[in-house]
Structures are given as structure tokens and as C-alpha cells.
A = this chain, B = another copy of it.
């Protein structure tokens, strides 16, 4: 067992997580960037496109396109901003809110299926290993080593 083996395991796990996300997206016929926008909206409430651009780290132009698509699919609406007539309030519809709710349930169900049978000690062991790996990654990416 080498450090490279360990990194390969991390990558393998990352691929599995991604694959599981894609399953949800295909079932609900929504793309990854749009899910990301809906999720952000679910956490923050009605938001300007500018604030969504900052949150998703994409350009405002890109948000225009994502919101266009989500308006067409019935997940969000553009409402007038209460105080700033330049801005719009992107708002979840019932359909959009239901999808976010589904996403939360699905996440909790996956967690229960994966780890629900573990006792507290095992949970703590796994969590500790992941915490330390995450901390190492963050340190490396922030400081360069």
C-alpha cells in the first residue's frame, strides 16, 4: 500500500460519487449546472442572477442561459426585484422546490444505505480518515504545500 495507491482510491471514490449524481440528473432530466443552480437557490432563497453568478463561479451571461432553461422547464420564474429595477429575483416554482426536496431526500437515503448500519465507532473512524485527507488537500491547494 503506497501513497499513490491511496490517491487512486480517493479518485475511484470520486468517480463513484459523480456517477451516482448523474443517475439522479438523468432520472429528473436536469443537467448538472442546473441542479447546482437549483440547489443554491434552495439554500439561499430568491436570488439575483448576479449573486447566483458569484455563488456558482460562472459569468452572468452563463446564468442568463441556465435560468432561461430552468424557466422553460418550469423549475424557476423571474420575478421583479423588490427594490432594484435593474435586477430580477430568480425564484423556485413548486416543481423546482419539489426537485430540491427530492435531492435532499435522495442524499439522506444514499447516506443511510451506505453507512446506516455502522456503529458510532466505525462512523468516527471513517470520518476521521476523510477529515484528515480533506485537511491535507485543503492545505496543499491553499498554500501550495
Contacts and interface: CB of A to CB of B under 8 A. Distances in A.
A98 interface: no
A9 B127 contact: yes
A145 B18 contact: no
29 contacts: A2-B123, A3-B114, A3-B115, A5-B127, A6-B111, A6-B114, A6-B115, A6-B126, A6-B127, A7-B111, A9-B127, A10-B130, A13-B13, A13-B14, A13-B133, A14-B14, A14-B18, A16-B134, A16-B137, A16-B141, A19-B141, A20-B137, A20-B141, A114-B133, A114-B136, A115-B136, A125-B125, A126-B132, A126-B133
Interface of A: 1-7, 9-14, 16-20, 23, 107-108, 110-116, 118, 120, 123-127, 129-134, 136-138, 140-141, 145
